[in-house]
Amino acid sequence: MLPWTALGLALSLRLALARSGAERGSPAAAPQGDLLFLLDSSASVSHYEFSRVREFLGQLVAQLPLGPGALSASLVHVSSRPHAEFPFSQHRSGAAVQDAIRAAAQRMGDTNTGLALARAKEQLFAEAAGARPGVPKVLVWVTDGGSSDPVGPPMQELKDLGVTVFIVSTGRGNLLELSAAASAPAEKHLHFVDVDDLHIITQELSASIVDAMRPQQLRASEVTSSGFRLAWPPLLTADSGYYVLELAPSSEPGTARRQQLPGNATGWAWTGLDPDTDYDVALVPESNVRLVKPQHLRVRTLPGHAKEALSLAQMQEQTLQLEQHSKLKEYEAAVEQLKSEQIRVQAEERRKTLSEETRQHQARAQYQDKLARQRYEDQLKQQQLLNEENLRKQEASVQKQEAMRRATVEREMELRHKNEMLRVEAEARARAKAERENADIIREQIRLKAAEHRQTILESIRTAGTLFGEGFRAFVTDWDKVTATVAGLTLLAVGVYSAKNATSVAGRYIEARLGRPSLVRETSRISVLEALWHPLQVSRRLLSKPQDALEGVVLSPSLEARVRDIAIATRNTKKNHSLYRNILMYGPPGTGKTLFAKKLALHSGMDYAIMTGGDVAPMGRDGVTAVHKVFDWASTSRRGLLLFVDEADAFLRKRATEKISEDLRATLNAFLHRTGQHSSKFMLVLASNQPEQFDWAINDRIDEIVSFDLPGQEERERLVRMYFDKYILKPATEGKQRLKLAQFDYGRKCSEIAQLTEGMSGREISQLAVAWQAMAYASEDGVLTEAMMDARVQDAIRQHQQKMQWLKAEGTGPAVASPYS
C-alpha cells in the first residue's frame, strides 16, 4: 500500500510542477517584427556628425536579434527627396545590415522629413519591400532636431497604424514637438543625446526596441482544480475601449461563459470550474481607436488529489518569485541610475541648446544690424546719385545759359568791331588825305626831329662814359667797397644753391609721404588728395572694424587652421608693435593668395599695397630706384603696411643657375638690401606660381611658407554655394533686378556642379557664377533655368580642359628664352 501511495504522490508532484510551469507561463517568445531606421542625411548635418550617427546605428544593430523569423531592418534617408538605402528583404543577418549601414553615403539637400515619413509608411507596410503583415512595426528616427516640412500629421498616421516611434535627437530640436511625435510615454521613446555620447543609450534603446517587438500574449497562473487566474499586457486604456473575456470547456464549446471588463483591466480569476478539465479562453479587445487582435489560450485544471503537491509547487514558485523580485529591484535600480544619467545628459544638452540659441540670436541680431547699415549706405548712395544727377542738370542749364550769353556777347563784339573798323577806315582815309596835302611840311618836321635826336644821343653817350669811368676808378681805389661786393655775390650764390637743394629734398619727402609709387598697382592706404575728395568714404573706412581674415575665403581645413594662426599672430604683432615676419605663398593661380593677403591686412588693422614682379623686371636700372621708393613709402605708414608682391619670381630668380642682366641683378640686390632685416613698419608677403625659381638669398629671408592648393570636393561645394548665393540668389530675392530663378533643387545642383568642376580654381568657379548671371540677363524673360546652368558648366569644363592642354604643350614644347634671362 505504501509504495502505491508514494508512486501516486510522485505523479501528483510531477503534475503539479508541470501546472506550476503553466502558471508561470511559457518562455518569452522571441521578438519578431520590422525595424525601419529614418536617418537625417541632409546638408544640415555635418560629415562628422553623419559618420558618428552611422557608427551608432551599427552598434545598435549589433545588439538586436536580426535574421529570418526574428527582426528585419530597412534604412531610409531624409533629404530633399527620400531615398531607401535597402529594403527589409535585402539583408538577412545582423552583420549584413551593419555592413550596409557603414556603406551608406550622405545624400545632402534639404531636410524634408515629412516626405521621408510617407516613404517610411510605404516601406513598413509594403510586401514588395519585404515587410511582413501581422508583425510589430518600429520606427527609429535619428535627427538633428530640424525639418523643412511638417512632421506631425504623417507621424500621427504611422502611430495610428500601430507603429512604435523612437526618436534620437542629436541637435537643438523643439522638446514639445519631438515629444508629441514620439510614442507614449515620451520619456521612454525620446532621447536627447550629443552626437559624441550616443553610445550611452545604445543598450537602453536596444532593450526598448526588443520589448516593443515582443509578442503580447495572454497567460494563465495560479491554476487549481477549481479555477485559475488570467493576465495580459495593457492593450487598451479606460478611454479607448473594453475587453470581452470568454470561457468554455473544450469538449462543450456551446456552454461558454462571458465577462466584460474595462479597458484598463490586465487580469481576471475564474472559479467554480471542474477539476482535470481543458478550458478554452478567448480575450477579445473592443476599441474604436485601433485594431487589436483577439488572443486565445487553453488551460487544464488540476486533479482533485494534487492539493499537497500544489502547495509544494506554490512554495517553490514563491521562492522563485522572491528571487525574481530581488533581481527586478536590482534592474530597476540600474534603470533609475541610467535615467538619472540620461536626465543629466539631457540637461547638459538643453544648456548647450540654450547657449547655441543665444549665439544664433546674437548672430541674427548682428546680421540684421549689418543689413540695416547696408540699407542706410544704399540710401546714401542713392541720395548721392540723385544729388549728382541734379547737379549735372543744373550744370547743363548753366552751360546752356552761358552759351547763350556768350553768343550774345560775341554778336555785340562783332557789331562793335564792324563799327570800329568803319570808323578807323574813315579816319585813315581822312588822315591819308591830309598827309597827301601836307607832305612837304611833314618831311621837313621829320628831318629836324631826327637831327635833334641824334645830337641828344651823342651827348648822352659822352656823359655816361665820363660818369662810368669816374665811378669805376673810385670803386677800384676804395678796397672796402670791393670786399663788400665780393661777399655779397658769394652769399647770393650760397643762398641760391641751398634753396635749390632744400626744394629737391622737400619734393622727395612729399612724394614719399603723399604720393603712391608707380610700382604699387593697388593700395588701401589713404592719401591726402583722396581724403579731400572723398571724406565720407575715408571716414567710413577709418571707423570700420577689423574683418575676419577668412571671410569669403574658402580653403581646406588644414590650410584654414594654419592661415588663421598666421592672421592671429600678425594682429598681435601689430598691437604689440613688434617685428613682422616675411611670408611666401605659392600655388596655382586663382587659389586665393591675393584675397587672403587683403583680408589679412584688414583683419590686422593694417594697410595693404599690391605690386607685381612683372612690372619690375623690364624696368632695367630704373627698377633699383623704383624698389627703393616702394620701401621708403611703405616705411612711412602709421598703421603698418602689408606689401604683397605677386609674380615675385619674375625678378627674384636664382643667380647661380640663370644668366641675368646687370640691371636685373642690381634690382635684386636692392630688394635683398631692403629686406635684410625685419621691420615693424611693414610686412612682406610674396606670392609665386614657381617658388623654385627664387634666389636662395630670398629663401633665407622667408619666415613662413604656405602652400595654396586647388580646392577639393568639399571646398568646391562651399565655393559653388557661396557664389551661387552671391550672384544668383541675392539678386533674385531682392526684387530690384531683372534676374529671376526657376524652381529646382538648388542644393542638389550645387553638389553636382562641385563634382563636375574637379581641378578648377576658386577664380574659375567665381567666373562660372558670373556667367550664370550674365546668361540670365541675356535671356528674354530673365529667368535662370537648370538647363542654362548645365550649359555654362559644360562650357567652363571645356575651356578648363583647353587651358590645361595649352599649359601642357607649353611645358613640354621647346623652351622659349625669357626676356629677363
What is the full DSSP assignment across 364-405? HHHHHHHHHHHHHHHHHHHHHHHHHHHHHHHHHHHHHHHHHH
Mean pLDDT, residues 90-102: 87
**Per-residue confidence (pLDDT) for residue 821, from 0 to 100:** 28
The answer to whether the beta carbons of residues 269 and 226 sit under 8 Å apart is: no
Q: Answer whether residue 818 shows pLDDT above 60.
A: no
Q: Answer whether residue 350 shows pLDDT above 50.
A: yes
Of the candidate ranges 96-110, 172-186, 314-328, 556-570, the one whose mean pLDDT is the lowest: 314-328
Q: Answer whether residue 605 shows pLDDT above 50.
A: yes
507 or 731: whose pLDDT is higher?
A: 731
220 or 709: whose pLDDT is higher?
A: 709
- What is the DSSP track for 708-730? -PPP-HHHHHHHHHHHHIIIIIH
When pLDDT is cut at 50, 70 and 90, the band that residue 794 belongs to is very high
209: left (phi over 0), alpha (psi -120 to 50) or beta: alpha
Q: Answer whether residue 410 shows pLDDT above 80.
A: no
Place of cell 559624441: 196
Q: Answer whether residue 591 shows pLDDT above 70.
A: yes
**Per-residue confidence (pLDDT) for residue 263, from 0 to 100:** 84
- How far apart, in whole angstroms, are the C-alpha atoms of residue 279 and residue 285? 20
Give me the torsion for CA of 431, 435, 437, 441, rounded to 10°.
140
Q: Answer whether residue 653 shows pLDDT above 50.
A: yes
Model-level pTM greater than 0.75?
A: no
Tell me whether residue 336 is exposed, middle or buried, using C-beta atoms within 10 angstroms of its C-beta: 0 to 12, 13 to 18, 19 or more. Answer: exposed
- Measured in degrees and rounded to the nearest 5, phi and psi for residue 192 equal -105, 110
Tell me whether residue 9 is exposed, middle or buried, using C-beta atoms within 10 angstroms of its C-beta: 0 to 12, 13 to 18, 19 or more. Answer: middle
Q: Which of 622-626, 666-670, 712-716 has the highest mean pLDDT?
A: 712-716
Average pLDDT of the chain, as a whole number: 79
- All three cell numbers of 443: 618831311
b/e string for 212-248 if b means 16 or more Cβ within 10 A?
A: bbbeeebbbbbbbbebbbbebeebbeeebbbbebbbb
433: Cβ–Cβ under 8 A, 6 or more apart, which residues? Answer: none
Do you find a cis peptide bond into 185, omega within 30 degrees of 0?
A: yes
pLDDT (tens digit, 9 = 90+) per residue, 231-276? 877 777 878 788 899 999 988 887 888 888 898 888 888 888 888 8
Of the candidate ranges 26-30, 287-291, 515-519, the one whose mean pLDDT is the lowest: 26-30
For the sheet containing 267-270, what is the strand order? 219-221, 228-231, 267-270
Of the candidate ranges 82-86, 397-401, 647-651, 717-721, the one whose mean pLDDT is the lowest: 647-651
Of the candidate ranges 123-127, 609-613, 657-661, the one whose mean pLDDT is the lowest: 657-661
pLDDT (tens digit, 9 = 90+) per residue, 1-47? 434 344 344 444 444 434 444 333 334 456 778 899 999 888 888 88
504: left (phi over 0), alpha (psi -120 to 50) or beta: alpha
12: Cβ–Cβ under 8 A, 6 or more apart, which residues? Answer: 303, 305, 306, 308, 309
When pLDDT is cut at 50, 70 and 90, the band that residue 545 belongs to is low
Q: Which of 78-92, 280-294, 398-412, 610-624 has the highest mean pLDDT?
A: 78-92
Mean pLDDT, residues 528-557: 68
Of the candidate ranges 52-56, 400-404, 759-763, the one whose mean pLDDT is the lowest: 400-404
Strand partners, 150: none
DSSP type of residue 128: G
- How far apart, in whole angstroms, are the C-alpha atoms of residue 284 and residue 246? 8
Q: Which of 9-18, 39-48, 407-416, 479-488 has the highest mean pLDDT?
A: 39-48
Task: Give percent of the chain with pLDDT exceeding 90.
Answer: 3
Q: Answer whether residue 526 shows pLDDT above 70.
A: yes
815 or 397: whose pLDDT is higher?
A: 397
